[in-house]
Amino acid sequence: MSFRARLLLAVAALLCLGALVLPLWEVRLGAPQYPEGLGLRIYAHTVTGIKEHDLDNINGLNHYIGMQAITPEAIPELVYMPWIIGALVLAGLGIAARGSRRGVLAWLAVVALLGVVGLWDFWRWEYDYGHNLDMDNAIIIVPGMTYQPPLIGTKQLLNFTATAWPGLGAVALGLSFLLTAGVWFVTRPRPEVA
């Protein structure tokens, strides 16, 4: 594998660092009385509000429907996700150093798998928040209504329009994956031209 290909692999691996510092996902909430909007940013290591108090304010509103509090401390994924991403970066750098196409393929497979598992896990959390309601303490009860936010796209939840979209961290992961896949494709063995 050429030096240039290995350099590109290293760049791709380092791109994953973006997923450590940039939000992986964003959920924005708008309602008639919230023209300025409320929103959450999901990072590898935490969940924060888009504005300083958004998380508390969303939790405050959610108490009306009996939703659990969103507390980053209670989400174990936020503890080990940074380590997984760190491992991906190191593995990617190692593969770039060795220039192994089999290694590249394995790395791609792992990233793809983690991506699918991650999205499923995220959906699972959203399902839990949206369905596992404390009906004894819920104040607003709409029969049959659940409050699972969308994984991607827009959904109406009572007076709130919730919109979820990948954040720049997820974009960095995606670019890293595409770049690595590109290197894998371009460096495929070609039949010698006589």
Partner 1 sequence: MIQRSILQVTLLSCAVLAAAGCGKPAPKSLVTGDAAQRVYVAPGEHDEFYSFLSGGFSGNMTVYGLPSGRLLKTIPVFSQFPENGYGYTEETKAMLETSYGFLPWDDTHHPQLSKTNGMPDGRWLFVNGNNTPRIARIDLTTFETDEILEIPNAAGGHASPFVTANSEYVVSAIRFSVPVPNTDVPIEEYKAHFKGSLSFVTANQPGKMDIAFQILMPGYNYDLGRAGKAASEGWFFFTTYNSEQAYTKLELNASKNDKDYIAAVNWKAAEACVAAGKAKVMPADYRHNHVIAATRTAVSERKTSVKVLEPTACPGAVYFLPTPKSPHGVDIDPTGEYIVGGGKLASVIPVHSFTKMIAAIKAKAFDGELDGIPVIKYDAVIAGEVQKPGLGPLHTEFDAKGNAYTSMFISSEIVKWKLGTWEVLDRMPVYYSIGHLMIPGGDGTAPYGKYVMALNKITKDRYLPTGGELTQSAQLIDISGDKMQMLLDFPTQGEPHYAQALPASLIKDKQVKFFSLKDNAHPYVARSEQDAGVTRQGKQVHVRMIAIRSHFAPDVIQGVEVGDTVYWHVTNVEQDWDILHGFAVLGMRTAELIMQPGETRTITWTPKSPGVYPFYCTDFCSALHQEMQGYVRVSAPGSGVQLTAGLSERSATQQARAAKLPKPVGGHDHAAVSTGVK
Binding interface with partner 1 (CB under 8 A): 36, 52-53, 56-57, 59-60, 62-64, 66-71, 134, 137, 139-140
Residue 31 CB, nearest approach to partner 1 (Å): 12
Residue closer to partner 1 (CB basis): 63 or 155: 63
Residue closer to partner 1 (CB basis): 57 or 161: 57
Coil, strand or helix at 69 = coil
Structure tokens at 20: 């450590």
Residue 134 CB, nearest approach to partner 1 (Å): 7
Structure tokens at 152: 């991607």
Contact yes or no for 180/9 (Cβ under 8 A): yes
Contact yes or no for 64/136 (Cβ under 8 A): no
User: 192 pairs with which residues across the strands?
Assistant: none
Residue 20 CB, nearest approach to partner 1 (Å): 23
Strands of 96-192, DSSP E: 153-157, 160-166
Neighbours of 132 (CB within 10 A): 11
Q: How far is CA 36 from the centre of its chain?
A: 24
Residue 63 CB, nearest approach to partner 1 (Å): 4
Residue closer to partner 1 (CB basis): 59 or 100: 59
Residue 70 CB, nearest approach to partner 1 (Å): 8
Report which DSSP code applies to 139. S
How far is the C-alpha of 175 from the C-alpha of 169, rounded, in Å? 10
Residue closer to partner 1 (CB basis): 7 or 140: 140
Residue closer to partner 1 (CB basis): 67 or 89: 67
